[in-house]
Chains A and B, each alone.
Chain A
Amino acid sequence: MEITTETTNGALIARAEGRIDGANARDFESAVQTAVRDCEGAVIIDCENLSYISSAGLRAILLIAKTLGKRQVKFALCSLSDPIAEIFQISGFDQIISTHSSRDEALAAVDS
């Protein structure tokens, strides 16, 4: 699992790569929490190169969402693969976390 960040239109984009499983979900969460600590604009996690996520990864995303929610920072995910989108759907995460098919769509959504 690897996280790289960049800023586009005032939004922090964290690109997640590889697998988020029971072994590294905590590392993923702390890497993103550190990256967004001083962020005042929106935060987008780009999942285009994310191949796999388990419930431990969902838990990490929920914790990040809760942290950002308290600070009223907008938060979205984009470019989920079909199996990952299915996990979001089954767990109901698609109802509580804003997900978009592309980065541009996510940027437009957090900008509105």
Chain B
Amino acid sequence: MSVSDDTRNDHLLHFTVVNDLREIAVAADRIDEFCSVHGIPTATAYAVNLSVDELLTNTISYGYEDSEEHRIDLKIRRDGDVLTIEITDDGIEFAPDSAKDPDTAASIEDRPIGGLGIFLTRQMMDSFDYRRDGGRNIVTLTKKTGTASPENQ
């Protein structure tokens, strides 16, 4: 991350949530507000919400081996027409690349329950990057805002 962007706080939404699934709706409210202020189309806001939801759901449901409270850090930054979403948690290492894409042509009987979250996130976002650093999972996503409208202040 470049230093100059951190000083432009109106372009950055930075907050943390705890490992409780109810925090997903709290995060969604903040993301919707940020997107609304920046004139980001509803479809893009939906895609960002969905991606954050899927990653938080995975981390909160499967990422912790204890029952302690953990904090998950979320950053959403707007640089021109690109949104960058960074989610950092101290959960167990995961391997998003190992998740097999679901067979979206399977019949209703053959369709497995689950396994869609990371797939949907990859489909909705323009890029998906995962790295493990200092005992933390860091997922970085980018998405074009899909609007050329001037920034609202």
Contacts and interface: CB of A to CB of B under 8 A. Distances in A.
Interface of A: 19, 21-23, 52, 54-56, 58-59, 62-63, 65-66, 69, 82-83, 86-87, 90-92, 95-97
27 contacts: A19-B25, A21-B28, A21-B53, A22-B21, A22-B24, A22-B53, A22-B57, A22-B61, A23-B22, A23-B24, A23-B25, A52-B28, A52-B46, A52-B50, A54-B53, A54-B54, A54-B120, A55-B54, A55-B116, A55-B119, A58-B116, A59-B116, A65-B108, A86-B43, A90-B120, A92-B106, A95-B105
A54 B106 contact: no
A52 B49 contact: yes
Contacts of A55: 54, 57, 114, 116-117, 119-120
Q: What is the size category of the interface that chain B forms with chain A? A: 20 to 34
A33 B105 CA distance: 25
Interface of B: 21-22, 24-25, 28, 42-43, 46-47, 49-50, 53-54, 56-57, 60-61, 102-109, 111, 113-114, 116-117, 119-120, 123-124
A59 B60 contact: no
* Chain B interface main SS type: helix
A63 B46 CA distance: 24
A69 B109 contact: yes
A52 B52 CA distance: 13
A22 B60 contact: yes
Contacts of A97: 108
Contacts of A22: 21, 24, 53-54, 56-57, 60-61
B57 A54 contact: yes
Nearest to B49: A52
Contacts of B124: 90
Contacts of A91: 102, 104, 116, 119-120
